[in-house]
Amino acid sequence: MTLDAAGMIFLVSFFIIWGVFLAWDFFRRGEKYGFLAYILAVIPANMLWGGGFNILGVYIVLFGLWIICLLRDLILVYGKTKEYDDILLFLGIGILVQLILTGILPYMNENLQNNCVAAWVFWFPDVYNPNTNAIKSWVDPDILLGFRVAATGMVLLAILPMILDLYHTEEHVPFLAIIIIDLLFILPFLWLAYVWGGTIGLPLTFLFAVLLFIVLLLLTRER
């Protein structure tokens, strides 16, 4: 960490701001600004990145903040209204903002390119050797495990409302609809497969898709 005293104060302040929007309903404002917590989570996480924090640790923090937001909304929003459009919308916006920043910040500060690899103009953690699929020497196994668990938890919580909707629906779900839903999760599954298996991610993605397909069939069977 290379944040000076002023940087630490700003970091703490942005965590507090995120916390305010996380607990927005507590203030009984009657407005939906609480969803901004998904976007605001990006700021302190990237301040840690700019301060020299381990890049995998940065994403553990970011995913952890998003997981807290998802848990809040699954309980307070989906649990009461059964609506999850805004949840996925603002999570998607937060992911998009983070993606944009990975294509800007490393060019403003080249030190942020350390332990990262470029995918087009975006920079992501460089965990696996592309030739041998071995984990690179800079990677701490414990931090990598935390990164994997956080990434998996975030994806599972994001798709949970849709899974619950399918389980509780009383309408017949066509076979074609199940296939389409399964295909929609290919991209997050591909990313999770890479997170866990590196360059052997494609076969793992296919396995995840098959397992989800079976789960969807079980959830939508006639009762």
- Calculate ∠ Cα 211-94-192, nearest 5°: 25
Q: So what's the pLDDT on residue 175? A: 84
CA 115 to the chain's CA centroid: 20
Those residues with Cβ within 8 angstroms of residue 146's Cβ, 6 or more apart along the chain or in another chain: 56, 57, 60
Q: So what's the pLDDT on residue 1? A: 56
Q: So what's the pLDDT on residue 171? A: 75
Q: So what's the pLDDT on residue 223? A: 58
Residues 52 and 2 sit within 8 Å (Cβ to Cβ): yes
Residues 170 and 219 sit within 8 Å (Cβ to Cβ): no
Cα torsion for 171, 176, 178, 179, to the nearest 10°? -170
Provide φ and ψ at 104, rounded to 5°: -120, -55
Residues 166 and 219 sit within 8 Å (Cβ to Cβ): yes
pTM: 0.90
Residues 65 and 73 sit within 8 Å (Cβ to Cβ): no
Amino acid at 62: L
Task: Count the neighbouring beta carbons within 10 Å of the beta carbon of residue 54.
Answer: 18
CA distance 53 to 51: 6
CA 39 to the chain's CA centroid: 12
How confident is the prediction along the chain (223 residues), in pLDDT tens digits per residue? 577 888 899 999 999 999 999 998 888 777 788 999 999 999 999 999 999 899 999 999 999 999 999 999 988 877 777 677 888 899 999 999 999 999 999 999 999 999 999 998 999 999 999 888 899 999 999 999 999 999 999 999 998 888 877 777 777 778 888 888 888 888 888 888 889 988 777 787 888 888 888 888 888 876 5
Q: So what's the pLDDT on residue 222? A: 66
